[in-house]
């Protein structure tokens, strides 16, 4: 549940300048080579993709183009998986969520299918990405781009006045997105009380879903993203960017849809769930002791989910707790089943059953989850080739996830080293967020936004003064020396 993502978009001239000036372009490329990230696609995959883009398979017959769907994504995104429409339904809401329909472009057993299984997911690095599918369709006729007619799975979810889902339907249809927003644009319109009803109602639905998550014991960590910024004097820095409320509300729509898919799968006794075991008693006890050692109040009758929701990353002690809380969210995986439901079907961080079904252009497992969900809704048999793939998907997804995490971790470290390379010997204030068995410390700087190792003993949760002793652009290695505690 830890977020350590550096935003460095190739469309941003400042980011390009930083990458070129510091040698990060070469470093990112070397990271991808070292971790065997695919470059391009094999010729047979490209030929099949070009053919499918020109002549899709099995297009939906229903016309839902009259529904004014909108998309909300990071700036520059072209592989748009989801489009949204919300309207009032009595005292509740009707949410329709269009998801890219890949059966029109990916034939079972074909070259594209085989390559997607090999990759598992889109792998992102700050300057470019290795997509799951060729751009000729994933950024074109399969993407829910505005003002084009696109095949989609359309989830139709009815919500009561508390935000609970009371009815689920899913069918194939041709749809049209009428507007694309960035998160910043969407937030600005929502804050101004202007724009399309879907945006204004997103806040209402999102807040109700957040309240439901808290009530059922769902837990998220308020960890901001790291982002490259430039000061007025032309100096590049790493800073933390808290998530916008619109990002959380939009994520709640995706989570709600994944929970609806899990409900269908559990009812039909076939599917693949995203699961996370609950924290073991020993892990939770250890975490409580760490919180107590930091002097932060956590009433015994307060669920850990409520406690985590209350944390503020601006508070140094809370920042240390957020770092320590990642130990509560280990062991996530995919659990396929057919016949009997899993003994442990829940995702502990969501306190619900959940399936990945909202990002098929970027994540392999979603294509299979959508096919299963639609078959269940229509009362049809799940295709044999999907049933045969279910036991294989956990390993395929685990391989892709390991590679994606390794790339992200290495790129973040490279960025941190590049930003700090000219500041060797400077002193900074930091918060100690972990202490190793060797009595060294893991520290969290707020300016610049860096998490790194520091040599020297320090107390967990304390504010310390540190000196930068190493920042190696070639390896991404960053090290500090603890000078002493800062009294506040």
Tens-place pLDDT, residues 198-220: 999 999 999 999 999 999 999 87
Q: Is 66's pLDDT higher than 90?
A: yes
Asked whether 130 and 39 are in contact (CB, 8 A), the reply is yes
Distance (Å, rounded) from C-alpha 370 to C-alpha 151? 13
Q: Is 332's pLDDT higher than 50?
A: yes
CA distances from 131 to 51, 241, 366 (A): 18, 25, 15
Q: What is the pLDDT of residue 49?
A: 98
Q: Which of 100, 250, 131, 239 is nearest to 182 (CA)?
A: 250
Q: How far is CA 65 from the centre of its chain?
A: 29
Distance (Å, rounded) from C-alpha 176 to C-alpha 179? 9
Least confident window among 2-6, 40-44, 217-221, 483-487: 2-6
Q: Is 60's pLDDT higher than 70?
A: yes
Average pLDDT across the chain, whole number: 89
Q: Which of 300, 296, 324, 323 is nearest to 310 (CA)?
A: 296
What average pLDDT does the segment 141-162 reach?
98
- Tell me which of 280 and 262 has the higher pLDDT: 262
Q: What is the pLDDT of residue 357?
A: 98
- Percentage of the chain beyond pLDDT 90 is 62
Parallel, antiparallel or unpaired: strands 333-338 and 270-275: antiparallel
- What lies within 8 Å, CB to CB, of 298 at 6+ separation is 288, 291, 292, 307
Q: What is the pLDDT of residue 261?
A: 98
Q: What is the pLDDT of residue 11?
A: 42
- pLDDT tens sequence across 288-299: 887 887 778 999
424-488: CATH number: 2.40.50.140
Least confident window among 40-54, 158-172, 293-307, 310-324: 310-324
Planar angle of CA 262, 264, 268, nearest 5 degrees: 115
- pLDDT tens sequence across 17-50: 555 656 778 888 999 999 999 999 999 999 999 9
Please give the model's pTM, rounded to 2 decimal places: 0.89
- Tell me which of 40 and 312 has the higher pLDDT: 40
Distance (Å, rounded) from C-alpha 221 to C-alpha 235? 30
Q: What is the pLDDT of residue 34?
A: 95
Distance (Å, rounded) from C-alpha 184 to C-alpha 75? 9
Least confident window among 154-158, 206-210, 327-331, 437-441: 437-441
Q: Which of 16, 92, 124 is nearest to 359 (CA)?
A: 124
Least confident window among 1-10, 68-77, 371-380, 460-469: 1-10
- pLDDT tens sequence across 392-411: 999 999 999 999 999 988 88
pLDDT range class, residue 485, cuts 50, 70, 90: confident
Parallel, antiparallel or unpaired: strands 225-230 and 6-7: parallel
Q: Is 10's pLDDT higher than 60?
A: no
What average pLDDT does the segment 447-464 reach?
84
Asked whether 464 and 485 are in contact (CB, 8 A), the reply is yes
Distance (Å, rounded) from C-alpha 43 to C-alpha 134? 11
Q: Which of 38, 39, 46 is nearest to 112 (CA)?
A: 46
The torsion defined by the Cα of 206, 360, 242 and 161, in degrees rounded to 10, comes to 0
Partners of 95 in beta bridges:
86, 157
* Total residue length of the chain: 488
Distance (Å, rounded) from C-alpha 477 to C-alpha 194? 47
């Amino acid at each position: 549940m830890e977020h350590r993502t550096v935003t460095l978009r190739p469309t941003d001239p400042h980011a390009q300048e930083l990458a070129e000036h510091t040698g990060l372009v070469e470093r990112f490329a070397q990271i991808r080579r070292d971790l065997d990230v695919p470059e391009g696609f094999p010729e047979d995959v490209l030929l099949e993709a070009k053919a499918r883009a020109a002549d899709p398979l099995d297009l939906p017959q229903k016309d839902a183009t009259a529904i004014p769907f909108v998309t909300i994504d990071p700036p520059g995104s072209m592989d748009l998986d989801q489009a949204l429409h919300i309207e009032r339904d009595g005292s509740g809401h009707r949410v329709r969520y269009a998801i890219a329909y890949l059966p029109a472009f990916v034939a079972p057993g074909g070259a594209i299918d085989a390559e997607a299984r090999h990759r598992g997911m889109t792998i992102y690095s700050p300057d470019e990405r290795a997509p799951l599918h060729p751009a000729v369709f994933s950024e074109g006729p399969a993407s829910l781009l505005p003002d084009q007619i696109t095949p989609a799975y359309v989830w139709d979810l009815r919500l009561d006045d508390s935000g609970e889902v009371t009815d689920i339907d899913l069918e194939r249809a041709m749809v049209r997105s009428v507007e694309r927003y960035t998160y910043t644009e969407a937030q600005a319109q929502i804050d101004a009380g202007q724009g399309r009803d879907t945006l204004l109602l997103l806040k209402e639905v999102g807040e109700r879903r957040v309240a439901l998550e808290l009530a059922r014991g769902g837990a998220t960590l308020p960890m901001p993203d790291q982002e490259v910024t430039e000061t007025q004097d032309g100096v590049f820095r790493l800073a933390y960017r808290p998530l916008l409320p619109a990002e959380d509300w939009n994520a709640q729509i995706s989570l709600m849809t994944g929970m609806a898919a899990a409900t269908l799968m559990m009812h039909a006794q076939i599917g693949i769930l995203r699961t996370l075991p609950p924290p073991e008693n020993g892990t939770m006890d250890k975490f409580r002791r760490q919180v107590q050692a930091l002097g932060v109040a956590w009433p015994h009758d307060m669920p850990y989910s409520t406690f985590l929701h209350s944390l503020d990353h601006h508070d140094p002690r809370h920042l240390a707790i957020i770092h320590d809380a990642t130990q509560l969210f280990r062991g996530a995986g995919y659990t396929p089943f057919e016949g009997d439901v899993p003994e442990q079907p829940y995702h502990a961080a969501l306190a619900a059953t959940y399936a990945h079904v909202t990002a098929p252009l970027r994540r392999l497992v979603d294509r299979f989850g959508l096919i299963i969900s639609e078959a269940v809704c229509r009362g049809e048999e799940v295709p044999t080739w999907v049933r045969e793939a279910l036991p294989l998907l956990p390993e395929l997804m685990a391989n892709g996830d390991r590679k994606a995490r390794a790339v992200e971790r290495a790129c973040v470290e490279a960025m941190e080293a590049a930003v700090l390379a000219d500041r060797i010997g400077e002193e900074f204030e930091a918060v100690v967020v972990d202490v190793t068995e060797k009595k060294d410390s893991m520290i969290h700087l707020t300016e610049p936004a860096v998490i790194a190792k520091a040599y020297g003993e320090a107390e967990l949760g304390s504010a310390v003064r540190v000196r930068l002793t190493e920042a190696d652009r070639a390896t991404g290695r960053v090290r500090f020396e603890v000078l002493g505690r800062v009294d506040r």
